[in-house]
Structures are given as C-alpha cells and as structure tokens.
Structure 1
Amino acid sequence: MDRPLVDADYVFITDDDVICIGQVLAMYSKTGGANFKNEWVSSTTNISAVTKIAVQVFEYSHGCHSTSKPTKTAILSVHQFAHLPSSNVLTLLLSKPRNINDTGLDLSENDIALFRRLDTNDGRAAIKEA
C-alpha cells in the first residue's frame, strides 16, 4: 500500500464472490490487551492489521457507473452495507470516484480497467486462491 488506508477511502472488495467497490466507513483492529478487544482505527498502512472493515457497497452497473443500490437491496431501494474481514479488501482505487451522488458513482478509466482485470474468471480464481 503506497499510502495509508483511511476512513472514506474507496476500495475494491469481494462480497459473496462478487467484485464491488466499497467506501470505508470504519476499520477495527485488535488491541494487545488480555481480552483482545476490537478498537476503531482511523488509518492503517497494513491492511492485515485490520480485523474488520465496515463499508458501503457499490455494485458495477454499466460503463464507468456503479450503483449505490446493489442487486441484493434494489427491490427495497436501499443502500447496502457490509462488515467484512480485511481479507475481502483487494486494493485502493487508483483515484477518487467522480459524480458521487445518491444513485452511485463513476470510476475513472484506470479504475474501470483495474475492475475489469479483477472481474475476469482468472482474476476471481486468483483472488480465491490468495
């Protein structure tokens, strides 16, 4: 990771074996105490130090657009949120999404190209093996 991962960053994630975009809402890391409690952390340079990450899920729709109301929650017309292990975080987006609004967001051309590489059969197989 070239820079720390911080709250409000956008990342590629896997959620039920689907490649999605997640906006980081919170990250948690275990403390070194006797009871090993999870504590909120504002940033990390090592994703494996994070035990759980809370994200809003955006699902690829078409072109460079990803929707804020994924298939799983579209019938209710609500946003989807997930509390994932850090192993479901694939990488930071290369640049901040554009046109962020209630319907979703638009990815840069470089991020769309990265998404397409991750979302191939070979890409998903490599992610499962990792």
Structure 2
Amino acid sequence: MKKQEKNLHADLIVSFGVLANTINVFANKSKAVLTEHSVKSVENQRWGLSGILFQYLIKKCYPRAIRVVGVSEGIVQDLEVNFDVENAVAIYNPSQDSKLKTVNNVHYTKLPTHWRLQH
C-alpha cells in the first residue's frame, strides 16, 4: 500500500471496512481517512471471535486516523461512545429517492458519478 501511495502522490487515502481501515492506518497514518457504514458495537456482537478482534482493532486504530467518517450521526455516536473515537464526523450517503432530494431546504442534483449541492 505504501508503494502505491507513493506512486499516486495521494493527499488522503480513504478506506472502508475494519481490516482495510486498520491497514490504512498502519500504512498511511498521516493520510488515513476511514469510513464506517454500520453500528460496529452491534455488528461485532454477531461476529463471535472476529467481532472481538474487530472491537480491539477499532479502539486501537481508528483514533490514529486523521478522520473517521460515519454515514450517519448514529454511527458516529457509536464510535465516540463505545470506541473512544474523537475524530469522527457524519457525512450522509446521498439518496436517489425523489422525496429525499430536498432536505432542510437544500436541493441536490444528480451527476453521473456523484452528487453536488446547489445553493
């Protein structure tokens, strides 16, 4: 990973999933941005021994990243309360549901590969 990062000259390395996030932290501590898409304290309970390992990895590695992004405030709260992660922020996944394209008077326009805010 370090070799690829040097070739790319990346400013940030974004990863998702506990194992990929752990590798990202060890390989790119000053550039690691981790993402979480589920409530890990609940999910890890279902994984048995792997869940116990994931609990440990999250507590040790996630605070070392420059930022941890959760896709909801609930996920961020879980990381803060159950894993002592203080560098977490919420960035919601966009929705293609036409009813949800306007939220809090902010309008979203769909682009080919991402969403853009309109002011």
Query: Which TM-score tier does this pair reach, normalised by the shorter chain?
Result: under 0.3
* Larger RCO, structures 1/2 (Cα 8 Å, 6+ apart): 1
**Higher fraction of helix:** 2
Q: Larger Cα Rg: Structure 1 or Structure 2?
A: 2
